[in-house]
Amino acid sequence: MGDEQKTVLFLCTGNYYRSRFAEELFNARSSECLPNWKAISRALAIKRGVANHGPISPFALAGLERRNITPLAPLRKPLACTKKILFHATHIVALKELEHRTILEEKFPEWIDRVEYWHVHDVDEALPEQALAEIEKNVKSLLLKLAG
């Protein structure tokens, strides 16, 4: 039973910046302390990310590089959240409650109380290094919580 794979699902609006950084960071940091856990990430409103270029935000990539983390290859395009993904996740985190709770209420109302909400701003409200540092702090806390 202790060897079964467990999954953290990180949710953000476009699955391009915050959730992708959280996914890669969690996977890099959890490999030794929580080997049975892996992170995935999805978008709650993928169509809002039409202006995003490439598979992942350059801000996320730069933040990972500064932390000596190489993203898992190959880099994939953003993916939309589904009920199936939510159902199979062991733990779910939405990166910004004010933004994502509303979308969850619209699309997946039965899941709103099963989600842990963080308060990480997107690039329109916070500099990338501030947001990425906040994600890093939250991921560290999550790792400790899951290990406990």
Q: What confidence tens digit (pLDDT) does each residue in 78-110 have?
A: 999 999 999 999 999 999 999 999 999 999 999
Instruction: Write phi, then psi, for 52 (nearest 5 degrees).
Output: -70, 140
| Beta bridge mates, 116 | 93
DSSP symbol at 68: T
Domains belonging to the chain, first-starting first, are: 6-147 (3.40.50.2300)
Which amino acid, residue 35? P
| R_g of the chain, CA atoms, integer Å | 14
Q: Which of 9-13, 16-20, 71-75, 139-143 has the lowest mean pLDDT?
A: 71-75
Task: Look at residues 103, 91, 85, 87 and name the one whose alpha carbon lies nearest to residue 14.
Answer: 103
| Helical spans, DSSP H, in 16-127 | 18-33, 58-66, 83-88, 97-107
Confidence of residue 54 (pLDDT cuts 50, 70, 90): confident
pTM: 0.94
SS3 119: strand
